[in-house]
Structure 1
Amino acid sequence: MIYKKVAKINEEISAIGIGCWNMGGDWDSSEESKSIDVIHAAIDMGVNLFDVAPVYGWGNSEKVLGKALKQDGLRNKVLIASKAGLTWDKPHHTANNLSKESLLKEIDDSLMRLQTDHIDIYQMHWPDPNVPLEETAEALNIMKKAGKIRYVGLSNFAQKDVEKMMEYISVDCQQSLYNMLERNPATYHGIPLDYRTEKEVFPVVKKYGQAFLPYSPLMQGLLAGKFLDGMTISKHDIRNENPKFSGETFKVYQEGARKLKAFADEIGKPMNEMTLNWTRQREEVTSIIGGASSLEQLKHNIHCTEWNLTDEEIAKINEILVPFENMD
């Protein structure tokens, strides 16, 4: 495993992290015992960053991660990066809420589900235009002083708001949508994004020494070679809610993915490994948040740290990616 360190976070962070979204039941299937096996295997292979959120599986993902880390005293070997700011009611209608009152309740609920006394990186999941940044920062400062969180992260925030938040509290980490085909995306699952990753987030991350955790690095499986040969998405799969996975837009993304698959075949590497390798070699990227629903997928993800694309190979990949620099 390769580890990276940034100025804002005094920790060695594994270049490959594990995203726990699919451990909460939002994808095709999610078996708790299998998820726990994947978590344990990931730690054995050197992974020390696990990204989760209360809203994933309506609290279930945090519970699964907490249960896995409770076994064999694994909690102190890893960094938990959880989130706050997306609340829900019984019919599972979500709402943005970064108010002080809500956040102070959320942290305690997450700590209980995770069976821990602190969260290492606490990320605000989405902006809340109805709550002043100063109020959100006040809640986070209370948590830090109480020892409930160690570092603060912002996810999906406009960079002007990131810099404004830094007037009230240290912002140590950012998380944004980023992969080969979504380099400066304007939407995620139809939700407008107030940032452009390469153009806006990367300069800020470098300027302040923040960690950067890209999510959806394989574009929900497309960059792992799925959906290139007629494979269809099941009706219960959350990818059906992503407009980029339908119509003419999807055909354009598929064509880009096919070209990347052909190049991966040319250099003799699995497509998902090549994709993650390219992403890992971006200097702004600290740890890639990738899902791993099986031990085989986990091994493929981690294997991307055991070799490097050459400068010439990266240049050829970048030629393929030119049409996607500003595509959404």
Structure 2
Amino acid sequence: MKTRTLGTTGPQVSLLGLGCMGMSDLYGPADENESIATIHAALEAGITLLDTGDFYGMGHNELLLRQALQGRKREQAIISVKFGALRDPAGGWSGNDGRPAAVKNFLAYTLRRLGTDYIDIYRPARVDPTVPIEETIGAIADMVKAGYVRHIGLSEASAQTIHRAATVHPISDLQIEYSLLSRSLEENILPTCRELGIGITAYGVLSRGLLSGHWSKERDMAAGDFRGFSPRFMGENLDHNLALVEALRSIAEVRGVTVAQIAIAWVLSRGSDIVPLIGARRRERLTEALGALDLQLTTEDLAQIERAVPAGAAAGSRYDESQMHHLDSERG
């Protein structure tokens, strides 16, 4: 497994990371035994970066990760944790909390659920507009000094917020959606991160399944599946987006690879400072994703991909209106 370093101050991690959210939440039911087997397979393949959030399944994902890591050396995994998203007992969303006291409270519970005495990368899931980012990052910096956190990350932050956060403490990486269908970070956010020596951990590289090559209009979604409320999966938007996938499939077939592999390889090609997070819930999907590491896209491949799926080609926003409102990254 090749590695990349997250920014100039972050840890060295595997070329691909494993995003664990779908094992506990938002994509419908998951098989717990298969989820643990997938985490084990990822570690055995050399994947070191494991991404979770304390609000994924209201703590379930952290407990799942703890179970999967039992009996292994703590240093084998680089654990990235998002915090701050507020949930209710029905699974609804109640905003974000970036207050310093809340930061330390969230961390205390995370350390206990994961069964570890430190977190490798700790980051607010969303920027709390009611709390200066300097205060949120300052609280995490206190936890770095105390030894409970190794590195500080950000998630879905704007260029301005990134600059402000970096004045308080070095930022290892920004976690943000990046795929052929989601490229809004390229104008301001990516250049800012590169200016400041901040890496990118890219989630949604398969656009929540749209770019997997396995999605169809006939697919039934379980109750509570996030995609049932996502504009990109609705009506004419879905027709348009699946047509883009078919254009991508024609390129993939010539190379003898899958749509998912070419989509992941495209994200990898965008820079050595970018690490894609793969949201595989099953070993077969993990194996497919790992196959992207053997794919070297040529200049002609990249030109064909750009023609098939140009920037801004996706129909529909990446979240519904209420969730888009919470994305500081969409403010510039």
CA distance in 1, matches of 2:139, 2:279: 30
CA distance in 2, matches of 1:20, 1:11: 19
CA distance in 1, matches of 2:10, 2:92: 37
Tell me the equivalent position of 1:31.
Answer: 31
* Pick aligned residue for 1:283 from 271, 275, 294: 271
Q: Is the 8 A contact 1:154 1:174 kept in 2?
A: yes
Tell me the equivalent position of 1:80.
Answer: 79
* Pick aligned residue for 1:224 from 200, 205, 212: 212
TM-score by length of 1: 0.91
* Pick aligned residue for 2:280 from 292, 295, 300: 292
Kindly provide the amino acid, as one letter, of the partner of residue 277 in structure 2: I
What secondary structure, in the 3-state scheme, does the structure 1 residue paired with 2:309 have?
A: helix
Tell me the equivalent position of 2:203.
Answer: 215
Tell me the equivalent position of 2:2.
Answer: 2
**Residue 54 to residue 104, structure 1, CA distance change in 2 (3 Å):** same
Kindly provide the amino acid, as one letter, of the partner of residue 269 in structure 2: Q
Kindly provide the amino acid, as one letter, of the partner of residue 89 in structure 1: D
Tell me the equivalent position of 1:242.
Answer: 230
What secondary structure, in the 3-state scheme, does the structure 2 residue paired with 1:83 have?
A: strand
> Deviation per CA, 1:141-188, whole angstroms, max 9, x where unpaired?
21111111111111011110110111222222101111111212xxxx
Deviation at 1:232, TM superposition (A): 3.7
RMSD of aligned residue pairs (Cα, Å): 1.8
Tell me the equivalent position of 2:68.
Answer: 68
**Residue 23 to residue 253, structure 1, CA distance change in 2 (3 Å):** same
Deviation at 1:90, TM superposition (A): 2.8
Deviation at 1:134, TM superposition (A): 2.5
> Deviation per CA, 1:260-318, whole angstroms, max 9, x where unpaired?
11211122111111111111111055321111111111111111112311121111111
Match status 1:320 vs 2:319: no
Q: Which range moves more in the overlay, 262-271 or 82-91?
A: 82-91
Deviation at 1:16, TM superposition (A): 0.8
Q: Is the 8 A contact 2:19 2:52 kept in 1?
A: yes
Match status 1:179 vs 2:156: no
1:89-238 matched pairs, under 5 angstroms? 89-94=88-93, 95-184=95-184, 197-228=185-216, 230-238=218-226
Q: Is the 8 A contact 2:26 2:225 kept in 1?
A: yes
Count of residue correspondences: 315
Q: Is the 8 A contact 2:10 2:171 kept in 1?
A: no
CA distance in 1, matches of 2:311, 2:133: 36
* Pick aligned residue for 2:258 from 270, 275, 289: 270
CA distance in 2, matches of 1:285, 1:172: 11
Q: Is the 8 A contact 1:55 1:86 kept in 2?
A: yes
CA distance in 1, matches of 2:187, 2:272: 12
CA distance in 2, matches of 1:313, 1:290: 22
Deviation at 1:8, TM superposition (A): 2.6
What secondary structure, in the 3-state scheme, does the structure 1 residue paired with 2:267 have?
A: helix
Kindly provide the amino acid, as one letter, of the partner of residue 80 in structure 1: I
TM-score by length of 2: 0.90
Tell me the equivalent position of 1:191.
Answer: none
Tell me the equivalent position of 1:22.
Answer: 22
Kindly provide the amino acid, as one letter, of the partner of residue 87 in structure 1: L
CA distance in 1, matches of 2:50, 2:16: 9
Q: Is the 8 A contact 2:176 2:202 kept in 1?
A: yes
Q: Which range moves more in the overlay, 165-174 or 142-151?
A: 165-174
CA distance in 1, matches of 2:314, 2:242: 16
Q: Is the 8 A contact 1:13 1:286 kept in 2?
A: no
Tell me the equivalent position of 2:58.
Answer: 58
Q: Which range moves more in the overlay, 242-251 or 24-33?
A: 24-33
Deviation at 1:228, TM superposition (A): 3.6
Tell me the equivalent position of 2:325.
Answer: none
What secondary structure, in the 3-state scheme, does the structure 2 residue paired with 1:38 have?
A: helix
Match status 1:255 vs 2:243: yes
CA distance in 1, matches of 2:311, 2:244: 9
> Deviation per CA, 1:187-213, whole angstroms, max 9, x where unpaired?
xxxxxxxxxx11122101211221201
CA distance in 2, matches of 1:113, 1:302: 29
